[in-house]
């Protein structure tokens, strides 16, 4: 270990075993008691009796703190070394509770995401009892969250418990966008393309206004010096932009191709209009046939009358 990174009574005492080849521990303990009397600063680092050291404490200094997962892995490695030692060693620091979350946050994020998406699947299926639509919602949510993690990484937001809480909060926002579009799509009439267009017309402006108002509401947090406030601003800004883009651009196109189509979605008003047009055309044809037959009968009657008149004249 680098001598610049550790600070202990043993190093300052300068005891070398090769200088005391026949020492059975007595010289070492005498030297230690004399060292503690000379430098009482280390009295709280040792618990000793006349012949043995009961408890000892050493200090280790970290050369560079990067506040990312490497610090967490350093703590994990130190604890692994103490477990391999035959001595009862404990590694402790008041900062370890912050470092531990740096290598535990990724598994916790994955676990929390899985639980939250599963809960959203059940809640969405209760509101919209259509499996295809629910799968489309969950797929779109997964794409939004994946894009959000990528944007936050590019923006310099490190994985931490703060980021995990904000990502879980973002699940509710991205599901809100998708559910509104899907609900408007399922309650419209017509073909898939017509219903996608109607859903975009009815819910496009409310979603856009909600996104803009949320961005304006957290806009001043971007000027804050607090890491928590700046991270919250970046998360809200990213989720609103990504959610609106997916809900207004991607989701209507997907619904127009593979969206659910029930028998109740057929536009019966068009069918009635077509039936009315067909009935009108049939009635028109019948009227024309009736008029033509009537004209033919009239002509035949006129011909018969003319022939009768000719016979009467010839008889006279």
Q: Over the stretch 207-231, which tens digit does the pLDDT of each residue have? A: 999 889 989 988 888 888 888 888 8
Whether the predicted pLDDT of 21 surpasses 60: no
pLDDT of residue 304: 58
* Residue 55: DSSP 8-state: E
pTM over 0.85: no
pLDDT of residue 238: 92
Average pLDDT for residues 134-158, to the nearest whole number? 88
The pLDDT-based confidence of 275 (bands split at 50, 70, 90) is: very low
How many whole angstroms separate alpha carbon 316 and alpha carbon 14?
Answer: 167
pLDDT of residue 4: 55
**Please, where are the H alpha helices in the chain?**
9-13, 26-38, 69-84, 96-127, 131-154, 161-186, 192-217, 227-245, 251-258, 268-315
Whether the predicted pLDDT of 287 surpasses 70: no
* Residue 267: DSSP 8-state: -
Residues pairing with 288 in the sheet: none
Average pLDDT for residues 293-303, to the nearest whole number? 65
Please state the three-class secondary structure of 159-221 as a single string. Answer: CCHHHHHHHHHHHHHHHHHHHHHHHHHHCCCCCHHHHHHHHHHHHHHHHHHHHHHHHHHCHHH
Q: Please name which of 7, 53, 47 lies closest in space to residue 29, comparing C-alpha atoms.
A: 53
Dump pLDDT digits (tens) for 184-195: 898 888 888 888
State both tokens at 264.
Answer: 């109740």
Whether the predicted pLDDT of 69 surpasses 80: no
pLDDT of residue 162: 80
């Amino acid at each position: 270990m680098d001598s610049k990174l550790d600070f202990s009574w043993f190093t300052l005492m300068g005891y070398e075993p090769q200088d005391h080849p026949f020492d059975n521990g007595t010289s070492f303990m005498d030297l230690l008691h004399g060292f503690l009397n000379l430098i009482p600063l280390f009295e709280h680092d040792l618990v000793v009796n006349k012949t043995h050291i009961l408890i000892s404490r050493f200090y280790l200094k970290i050369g560079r703190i990067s506040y990312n997962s490497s610090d967490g892995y350093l703590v994990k490695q130190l604890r692994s070394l103490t477990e391999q030692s035959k001595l009862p060693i404990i590694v402790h620091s008041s900062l370890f509770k912050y470092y531990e979350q740096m290598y535990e946050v990724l598994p916790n994020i994955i676990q929390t995401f899985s639980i939250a998406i599963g809960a959203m699947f059940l809640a969405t299926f209760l509101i919209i009892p259509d499996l295809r639509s629910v799968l489309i919602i969950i797929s779109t949510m997964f794409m939004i969250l994946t894009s959000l993690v990528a944007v936050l990484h590019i923006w310099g937001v490190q994985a931490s418990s703060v980021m995990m809480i904000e990502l879980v909060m973002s699940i509710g926002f991205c599901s809100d966008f998708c559910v509104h579009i899907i609900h408007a799509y399922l309650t419209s009439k017509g073909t898939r393309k017509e219903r996608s267009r109607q859903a975009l017309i009815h819910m496009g402006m409310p979603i856009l206004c909600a996104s803009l108002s949320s961005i304006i509401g957290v806009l001043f947090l971007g000027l804050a010096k607090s890491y928590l406030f700046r991270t919250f601003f970046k998360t809200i800004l990213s989720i609103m932009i990504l959610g609106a883009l997916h809900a207004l651009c991607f989701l209507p196109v997907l619904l127009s191709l593979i969206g659910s189509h029930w028998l109740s979605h057929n536009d019966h008003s068009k069918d009635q209009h077509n039936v009315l047009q067909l009935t009108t055309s049939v009635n028109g044809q019948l009227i024309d046939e009736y008029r033509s037959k009537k004209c033919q009968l009239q002509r035949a009657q006129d011909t018969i009358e003319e022939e009768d008149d000719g016979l009467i004249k010839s008889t006279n």
